[in-house]
């Protein structure tokens, strides 16, 4: 059987401000541009990062969402500037790994998920990273960038 190169047509990349997420973004953009793939960029507002006062403050939540929307538009423009022809952005809320696997992937239906391997320090490390969760439960191919 002859080897065939696997091509992905719908690439989903998760972004935040971590170094690994930026590397994942750059890889996804390059792949999408070189292979004429559709690129979906998702940012997840993680509710566990908020304290109780922030979570109850509608103005704070609205401000965080507005800031995320502005930030994700910068990612979108970078993708266009790099030659990606079709780019869609999404902002979701919740636990990043679970939200991407249970909500975003069924909506987007990507054939490749590109994510950074960044893990938060402390207790989250003991229970496994978001990248490990997505790698295990995503119903599509997953590329973890370090």
Residue 4 banded pLDDT, cuts 50, 70, 90: low
pLDDT per position as a tens digit, 63-109: 567 888 889 999 999 999 999 999 999 999 888 899 999 999 999 99
Q: Return contacts of 105-110, CB within 8 angstroms, 24+ apart.
A: 105/12, 105/138, 105/139, 105/140, 108/10, 108/12, 108/40, 108/42, 109/10, 110/8, 110/10, 110/11, 110/12, 110/40, 110/140
pLDDT of residue 126: 41
All domains of the chain in start order, with CATH: 10-145 (3.40.50.620)
pLDDT per position as a tens digit, 105-139: 999 999 999 999 865 555 444 444 888 999 999 99
pLDDT per position as a tens digit, 51-65: 454 444 555 445 567
More reliable by pLDDT, 95 or 25: 25
- On whether the pTM is more than 0.75, the answer is yes
pLDDT of residue 49: 54
Residue 48 banded pLDDT, cuts 50, 70, 90: low
């Amino acid at each position: 059987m002859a080897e065939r190169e696997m091509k992905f047509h719908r690439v989903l990349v998760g972004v935040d401000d971590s170094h690994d997420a930026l590397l994942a973004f750059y890889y996804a953009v390059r792949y999408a541009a070189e292979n004429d793939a559709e690129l979906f960029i998702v940012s997840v507002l993680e509710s566990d990062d908020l304290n109780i006062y922030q979570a109850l403050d509608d103005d704070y939540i609205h401000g965080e969402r507005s800031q995320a929307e502005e930030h994700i538009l910068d990612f979108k423009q970078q993708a266009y500037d790099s030659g990606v022809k079709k780019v869609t952005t999404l902002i979701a809320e919740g636990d990043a790994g679970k939200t991407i696997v249970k909500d975003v992937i069924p909506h987007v239906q990507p054939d490749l998920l590109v994510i950074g391997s960044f893990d938060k320090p402390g207790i989250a490390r003991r229970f496994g990273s978001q990248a490990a969760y997505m790698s295990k439960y995503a119903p599509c191919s997953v590329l973890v960038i370090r």
